[in-house]
Chains A and B, each alone.
Chain A
């Protein structure tokens, strides 16, 4: 059984509790154990970096130091948490002076970070550690006929870490195919949801959300799959405001990829937190009689 230190992040406590529930249920069924970090703090989203860089690195490093003590790689389901933690490790490894300053502050909580932690996004656990083949083997209720827009968003794939494909990645599509769904060609799959601009520059963000919804509708997707609580909230909770602002009539469900995987694994709606949405997904069609090989 694979085991990870799990950093849920603030959104998953309430706003995106269905992401947390479905992440726990699906990983359990797929033989992956997620151990929640003890006493973790907020990763800082994008805002700490607006105020003070050293503070931003220190707050991420506290979580990383707690994870390091477990000896496990750390997994974050939120793209912002993931990006912040990933690049904090990278910067602290390269910059001894920065690491010294950060560790001086960490002493106050009896912690020290040496840089020996790998950071992964939850979707990477599904795409790499579990993999589409294994996923396909575990599927009991393939999502036949479900047309899904694979929405990558920004901070899973950007900034670039090594030489990975930052323009046309395919791992999300492969995962959707493995659970029997049909990934649609979603031209805006790499575009930003607006993030915190939904608060600070509302009109700009609502326009970005509108474009993303329109692109999904044009691709005849019946649901958008996301891997980030910010994206989910902007695309779904603010969908009504997009409709009011632009006179549109969008009604596109936006689900966490873990919820779709969970459905394909035969996990109940309740356990996957389905029912907390603003835009409900059409009931899953009755399983078509078919031999699954």
Chain B
């Protein structure tokens, strides 16, 4: 018995309801990478990420943009012949990387998701204009201008809210969340 756990075991512990180490059953067939619509933009394909985890290459995994480029489309998951829930793995790696505050520089995903959760904790519902401030300044000028034009047209068509929607029992709602996560970190 050893008291240190491998990176692979650490990741397996983050997979909801998984038994044992599902990633160990990967046969490296590449069906996931062949199916993934975003694989071409990833530093490492989904197949490679699984191989890297199994090899214990923690730094290389955390420095990869792969899981932040996963769109959660579950195509790999329904096709994996070993029934590995690869999408769930990508979620787990996102959580792990946020938890450890270690992610590749220049990614919008981590700050965007934290801003999203803070927004929901505040009002209970989504409010796009606030959310936009979490990412729009990371865009280059051309993207920035396009996004503003799109938003303006949405507004003119009555498709953007001007005031944030709030749920009625917000106090209860916030105390409920307080039972799950310390609110201090999200204020």
> Chain A: residues with CB nearer than 8 A to chain B?
10-11, 13-17, 39-42, 44-55, 58-59, 62, 91, 94-95, 101, 104-110, 154-155, 158-160, 166-167, 190-192, 194-197, 199-205, 207-208, 211, 237-238, 240-241, 244, 276-278
Contact = CB atoms under 8 A, between A and B. Distances in A.
Contacts, number: 185
- Give the interface size class of chain B: 35 or more
Closest 4 CB pairs between A and B? A192-B73, A10-B126, A158-B74, A109-B172
Contacts of B77: 158-159
Contact of B116 (A45, A160, A238, A244): A45
Nearest to A13: B165
B180 interface: yes
A42 B124 CA distance: 6
B71 A197 contact: yes
A194 to B, nearest CB: 6
Interface of B: 16-17, 37-38, 40-41, 68-69, 71-75, 77-78, 85, 87, 91, 94-95, 98, 107-110, 112-114, 116-117, 120, 124-126, 128, 135, 139, 143, 146, 149-150, 153-154, 157-161, 165, 167-169, 172-173, 175-181
21 contacts: A10-B125, A13-B165, A15-B154, A47-B117, A48-B120, A50-B95, A51-B113, A54-B180, A55-B180, A58-B180, A59-B177, A104-B179, A105-B179, A106-B176, A109-B176, A159-B77, A167-B78, A200-B112, A207-B41, A238-B150, A240-B150
Main secondary structure of the interface of B (DSSP, over half): helix
Contact of A158 (B73, B114, B124): B73
Contact of B135 (A94, A110, A199): A199
Contact of B71 (A53, A95, A194, A276): A194
Please indicate which of the listed interface residues A50, A109, A202, A240 has the most CB atoms of chain B within 10 Å of its own CB: A50
A36 to B, nearest CB: 13
B108 A201 contact: yes
Please indicate which of the listed interface residues A15, A39, A200, A277 has the most CB atoms of chain B within 10 Å of its own CB: A200
